[in-house]
Amino acid sequence: MKRFILGGALAAVLALPALAADYTIMAPAGPGGGWDQTARTMQDALQKEGISGSVQVQNVPGAGGTVGLAQFAASTAGKADQLIVGGYVMVGAILTNNSPVTLKDITPVARLTGEAVAIVVPAASPLQTIGDLVEALKADPGAVSWAGGSAGGVDHITVGLLAKAAGVDPTRINYVAFSGGGEALAAILGNQVTAGISGVGEFLPQVQAGTMRLLAVSSDARLPGVDAPTLAESGYDVVVQNWRMVAAAPGLSEADRAAVLADIEKMAQSATWKEALATKGWADTYLAGDAFAAQLDKEIAATEAVLRDIGLVK
Amino acid sequence: MGTFDLLLQGLAAALDPMLLLYALIGVTLGTAVGVLPGIGPALTVALLLPVTYGLDPAGSLIMFAGIYYGGMYGGSTTSILLNTPGESASVITALEGNRMARAGRGGPALATAAIGSFVAGLIATLGLAFLAPWVVKFALVFGPRDYFALMVLAFITVSSAFGDSTLRGLTSLFVGLALACVGIDQLTGQARLHFGVPQLLDGIEVTTLAVAMFAVGEALFVAGRGNGAPDEVIAVRGSVWMTRADWARSWRPWLRGSFIGFPIGALPAGGAEIGTFLSYAAEKRLARHPEEFGQGAIEGVAGPEAANNASAAGTLVPLLTLGLPSTATAAIMLAGFQQFGLQPGPLLFATNPQLVWSLIASLLVANAMLLVLNLPLVGLWVRLLTIPRPWLYAGILLFATLGTIGANPSPVELAMLLAFGVMGYGMRLYGYPIAPVVVGLILGPMAEQQLRRALSIAQGDVTTLVSSPVSAGLLAVAALALVVPMILRSRGRGRVLAQVASDAD
Amino acid sequence: MTGLPIEPQRRPDGAAFVIAALLAALGALLVVEGISLPDRGGYSGVGPGKVPLAVGLCLLGLAGWTVLAGLRGETEVPPRQAARPVLWVLGGLVAQLALLHTGGFTLASGALFGCVAHGFGARRLPVALGVGLVLAGAVYAVFDGLLRLTLPAGPVERLIFGG
């Protein structure tokens, strides 16, 4: 019986159809994280929709994606079947790590999904609104400790932007970096810090359970089902989205680039992809081609400015 | 419906013959991959998770639980027999376990590990079932300063793994701490000691170091003894089973290990290794024959192995109640839970009790299945040692490098494996203990980051480090652990120990 | 277990000084790095350079202690080592490293297996290499094909698995 099941599994794996147009997607991170999940969801959608025969996912972890990015840029020039997943974190990591390879060295294809950042306080905190928190920050920046993800990441950048928008010197924020949003979550729940900042999805279950209070989100409009104002409507001109994208190899011909764009477009419109986004709770922020490239340039410039303000980039 | 009823219902459902078969397949696969040297539970779970995708929810859940416990247990087998831990939590198991295996007592070592894992798994899974809401409250009390105090305690107690020379033990530890400085400083984003190599920016992978120093270093050392040297490894001497004395010496360490491992595993930033360090130190202090430690003391296998498995179940506490993965294995499991429609978080126990209880029931069934599968296999595993050395060590290195290549197929990573392997070889030659290097690499960054976080939150006020009850208590225990042996020694009771230690080398 | 500790092999030993020099070099490296990193401790007052500095200073101290121990003849005397098998094992690891991305997993790991087995006393190298290639191929088939672990592919993998 056991042998039968194993044999069946073996046969099923070996019998996968071998079609043409086999993409290889690099996830510049270890298995399990957001970029890896994005790559594997793409793999699934591309295969199920018959856009590509067999899609391989390759993990190259390291340094906020810059290790994978450097390897990708160096080894794939002109190859239309090579894709890489990336995101906003990469923009900051390239700057803080002084990476010689940047997003200019690859061909951005499309933004796929994104998530706003949420600012929370522990349920027991006396601070009730984002205004209260900013007042406390103005009074004594050092006394307001922020728990969030890694230094120079999207959480840190958002705090820097908020401080600047509120007229507080961004170099004086007391940002405490934790490994990933998870450990920060524990510090907030344990009332160890004044405020916390991380992806909305990370905090939402806690907010619903009443263990922390959501003060504001960084999206450009209120999020459906989330009872919190945006930073912008609260009077601080800060809009941040932690997006994820897919890019192609450098040096593609116009025809190749158009073909990749068409494949990704087909994938992003497919039922499989939309269903996956819904089950994973990822927002569809699809933006492709030249529009995305222009948006990317703007974000890189803005990020560089704020990292300079915080003092992370010289 | 009460907690107990829900659990019974889950158990009754899990006892369906088809589900038991899935549990058996899961445990077999988990053990089979986990047992390969250099492949730890995180990689095992990641590799085997997709196998569960095609089944119905109940079946895939139970198979998944089997893979998880099988992978956890499989890792200790090669640690004990071949001195090749595939992950940091079984480094301590290898210390005494491998000594036992070399003396022909591999059977009892494996058996105490298997039964200890079962006992710890049972206690900790029941703890997860009935105490999770309280344990998580306790865990959240821990802030950066409390973690720092815990690290201090771990540093002090880890000296019990130093072997016979304080100088060589401290040197090994500080080499590990030096390696821990490599990479991006997490609190400021500042790159340290990377020498322009981008792969070093994320620091040195604990698994790579452990596999290199143990598996590669060991292979070189054994090779260096030459082919003419008599083989000092004896597969079986005496009984392959545990004797009455083994049982008498094992049951207390199993229980102590379980009670140390479970709460530490439940700490969101605790990590499974810390529990094994503390358990080893506790057993060494409490043992009737502490001089046997380092020579193959069964308590030193029973305790840490129980602690390791209890903390594996403890890890599920923050994972299920907060949605917080605190180890690499847990992060992969989180992805696994999502395929069952299980959204870990504060509301999970309230909104989805059926799934939670069938998961817990599955864990209990898988835990029992593991014992059923592995106890009869102990005799077979021990035969591993009778494989002719050329094929055995060639196989060890093949799988040890497979683990590294599979996790990160970069030449830099393989080169590090080679370099640290040579370092492990050199350290063996000159009698430097290996485990403290790995311990330093694990504890160093944790201690540094928690210290700096605590000081940052308190705006540089050093008194914050002793101003929470937990941190003050832990530091007091650490001080006692440091001072009491000194007092004992000065009163003469330590003389015998010192004598024995100087004879040992 | 009784009697005077007889230590016939304990005498001043060059190895202690080599080890001390290595430790001192490592310590100095950390001290230099610790001092040269910008002091950005922020509110904690402990910057990224402080811990490397402290560890480096401790290593320098341990180097000194090692010299003292060496002078007193307290160094461990290494057991006799045969060079040939060690070199074969090292050669196998280097061969794997060199072949991994050009020749693929099967060739590289087969070479590793063959060299290590030969070093450990398997007399005929071609047989050992053959066994290694078959085993590595099987491992590739199971882990890459069945379990979807991406392993570097080379000519052998492309020939057999077509991709």
Between A68-72, B36-40, B456-460, the lowest mean confidence (pLDDT) is in B36-40
Between B394-398, B403-407, B468-472, C129-133, the lowest mean confidence (pLDDT) is in B403-407
Q: What is the structure's pLDDT at B313?
A: 85
- Residue in chain A nearest B138 by alpha carbon: A190
Q: What is the structure's pLDDT at A31?
A: 62
The one-letter amino acid at A189:
L
In whole angstroms, what is the distance from residue A305 CA to residue B2 CA? Answer: 57
Q: Of C11 and C52, which is predicted with more confidence?
A: C52
Q: What is the structure's pLDDT at C1?
A: 35
Residue B246 has pLDDT above 90, yes or no: no
Matching fold, domains A22-114+243-296+305-310 and A115-217: yes
Place B281 in a pLDDT band, splitting at 50, 70 and 90.
confident
DSSP secondary structure code for residue C143 in this structure: I
Task: Residue B223: list chain C partners with CB under 8 A.
Answer: 82, 85-86, 88-89, 116, 119-120
Q: What angle do CA B206, B212, B213 make, to 5 degrees?
A: 90
> If you average pLDDT over residues B463-492, what whole number do you get?
82
In whole angstroms, what is the distance from residue A100 CA to residue B346 CA? Answer: 43
Q: What is the structure's pLDDT at C9?
A: 47
Closest-CA residue to A277 (of A32, A56, A45, A116)? A45
Q: Of A19 and B260, which is predicted with more confidence?
A: B260
pLDDT digits (tens, 9 = 90+) for A76-93: 777 778 888 888 888 888
- What SS3 class is residue B229? coil
**Token representation of residue A243:** 């997006």
Q: What is the structure's pLDDT at B231?
A: 54
- Going by their DSSP bridges, the two strands A195-199 and A283-288 should be labelled as unpaired
> Is A133 within 8 Å of A165 (Cβ atoms)?
no
> If you average pLDDT over residues B400-414, what whole number do you get?
84
In whole angstroms, what is the distance from residue B434 CA to residue B426 CA? Answer: 10
Please answer yes or no on whether A280 and B338 come within 8 Å at the CB atom.
Answer: yes
> If you average pLDDT over residues A138-162, what whole number do you get?
89
pLDDT digits (tens, 9 = 90+) for B249-260: 888 999 999 999
DSSP secondary structure code for residue C146 in this structure: I
Please answer yes or no on whether A58 and C163 come within 8 Å at the CB atom.
Answer: no
Q: What is the structure's pLDDT at C6?
A: 38
In whole angstroms, what is the distance from residue C151 CA to residue A58 CA? Answer: 9
Bridge partners of B105?
Answer: B236
In whole angstroms, what is the distance from residue A304 CA to residue C105 CA? Answer: 41
In whole angstroms, what is the distance from residue A57 CA to residue A24 CA? Answer: 6
Task: Residue C145: list chain A partners with CB under 8 A.
Answer: 13-14
Q: What is the structure's pLDDT at A10?
A: 39
Q: Of C68 and B18, which is predicted with more confidence?
A: C68
Helix axes B41-48, B389-407, angle to 10 degrees: 70
pLDDT digits (tens, 9 = 90+) for B139-150: 888 888 998 998
In whole angstroms, what is the distance from residue C46 CA to residue C38 CA? Answer: 11
Please answer yes or no on whether A190 and B143 come within 8 Å at the CB atom.
Answer: yes
Option in C43, C145, C163 nearest A174 (CB) = C43
Residue B495 has pLDDT above 70, yes or no: no
In whole angstroms, what is the distance from residue B448 CA to residue B151 CA? Answer: 9
Option in B189, B199, B201 nearest A152 (CB) = B189
Task: Residue C158: list chain A partners with CB under 8 A.
Answer: none
- Please provide the size of chain A in residues: 314
Q: What is the structure's pLDDT at B178?
A: 95
CB pairs under 8 A between B and C: 203
Q: Percentage of chain A with pLDDT > 70?
A: 90
Residue A108 has pLDDT above 90, yes or no: no
> If you average pLDDT over residues C120-128, what whole number do you get?
88
> If you average pLDDT over residues B364-391, what whole number do you get?
84
Mean pLDDT of chain B: 82
Please answer yes or no on whether A97 and B24 come within 8 Å at the CB atom.
Answer: no
In whole angstroms, what is the distance from residue C133 CA to residue B75 CA? Answer: 26
Kindly state whether A13 is in contact with chain C, defined as any CB-CB distance less than 8 angstroms.
Answer: yes
Place A14 in a pLDDT band, splitting at 50, 70 and 90.
very low
Residue A193 has pLDDT above 70, yes or no: yes
Between A175-184, A190-199, B46-55, B295-304, the lowest mean confidence (pLDDT) is in B46-55
Kindly state whether A183 is in contact with chain B, defined as any CB-CB distance less than 8 angstroms.
Answer: yes
Residue A281 has pLDDT above 50, yes or no: yes
Q: What is the structure's pLDDT at C55?
A: 95
In whole angstroms, what is the distance from residue C108 CA to residue B468 CA? Answer: 55
- Look up tokens 């010289």; give the residue: A314
Please answer yes or no on whether C78 and B422 come within 8 Å at the CB atom.
Answer: no
pLDDT digits (tens, 9 = 90+) for B333-367: 776 776 666 667 766 777 777 777 888 888 888 88
Distances A230 to A131, A175, A233, B316 between C-alpha atoms, Å: 12, 21, 5, 34
Classify residue C146 as exposed, middle or buried by CB count within 10 Å of its CB (0-12, 13-18, 19+).
Answer: middle
Bridge partners of A26?
Answer: A58, A84
Kindly state whether A15 is in contact with chain C, defined as any CB-CB distance less than 8 angstroms.
Answer: no
Task: Residue A192: list chain B partners with CB under 8 A.
Answer: 143-144, 457
Between A48-62, B6-20, C85-99, the lowest mean confidence (pLDDT) is in A48-62
Place A158 in a pLDDT band, splitting at 50, 70 and 90.
very high
pLDDT digits (tens, 9 = 90+) for A228-243: 899 999 989 888 888 8
Kindly state whether A129 is in contact with chain C, defined as any CB-CB distance less than 8 angstroms.
Answer: no
Options 3.90.1150.180, 3.40.190.10, 3.30.720.110, 3.40.50.1010; CATH for A115-217 is 3.40.190.10
* Chain A interface, best mutation among B148, B206, B450, B457, by max A CB count within 10 A: B457
Kindly state whether B421 is in contact with chain C, defined as any CB-CB distance less than 8 angstroms.
Answer: yes
Place A15 in a pLDDT band, splitting at 50, 70 and 90.
very low
Mean pLDDT of chain A: 81
Q: Kindly report the backbone phi and psi dihedral angles of residue B194, in degrees, each rounded to the nearest multiple of 5, phi listed first.
A: -105, -10
**Token representation of residue C92:** 């196998």
Residue A3 has pLDDT above 60, yes or no: no
> If you average pLDDT over residues A250-263, what whole number do you get?
83
> Is B337 within 8 Å of B313 (Cβ atoms)?
no
Bridge partners of A121?
Answer: A213
Most confident residue range from A152-156, A212-216, B160-164: A212-216
> Is B134 within 8 Å of B272 (Cβ atoms)?
no
Place B455 in a pLDDT band, splitting at 50, 70 and 90.
very high
DSSP secondary structure code for residue C141 in this structure: I
Closest-CA residue to B271 (of B151, B175, B407)? B151
> A22-114+243-296+305-310 falls under which CATH superfamily?
Bordetella uptake gene, domain 1 (3.40.190.150)
pLDDT digits (tens, 9 = 90+) for B181-220: 998 888 887 888 888 787 788 788 888 888 898 889 989 9
* Annotated domain spans of chain A: 22-114+243-296+305-310, 115-217
Query: How far does B97 lie from chain A, in Å, by closest CA?
Result: 31
CA-only gyration radius of chain A, Å: 21
Determine which helix (DSSP H) or strand (DSSP E) holds A112, and give its type and residue range. Answer: strand A107-122
**Token representation of residue A94:** 């390239």
Query: How far does B282 lie from chain C, in Å, by closest CA?
Result: 26
3-state helix, strand, coil in chain A (%, to 5): 45, 20, 30
Residue B27 has pLDDT above 60, yes or no: yes
> If you average pLDDT over residues C83-101, what whole number do you get?
92
In whole angstroms, what is the distance from residue B171 CA to residue B173 CA? Answer: 5
Option in B54, B328, B456 nearest A174 (CB) = B456
Other C-beta atoms within 10 Å of B110: how many?
A: 29
In whole angstroms, what is the distance from residue B362 CA to residue B62 CA? Answer: 5
> If you average pLDDT over residues B446-462, what whole number do you get?
90
Q: What is the structure's pLDDT at B502?
A: 44
Between A274-278, A290-294, B422-426, C152-156, the lowest mean confidence (pLDDT) is in A274-278
pLDDT digits (tens, 9 = 90+) for A114-134: 888 899 999 999 999 999 999
- Please provide the size of chain C in residues: 163
- Going by their DSSP bridges, the two strands A82-87 and A24-27 should be labelled as parallel
> If you average pLDDT over residues C17-27, what whole number do you get?
93
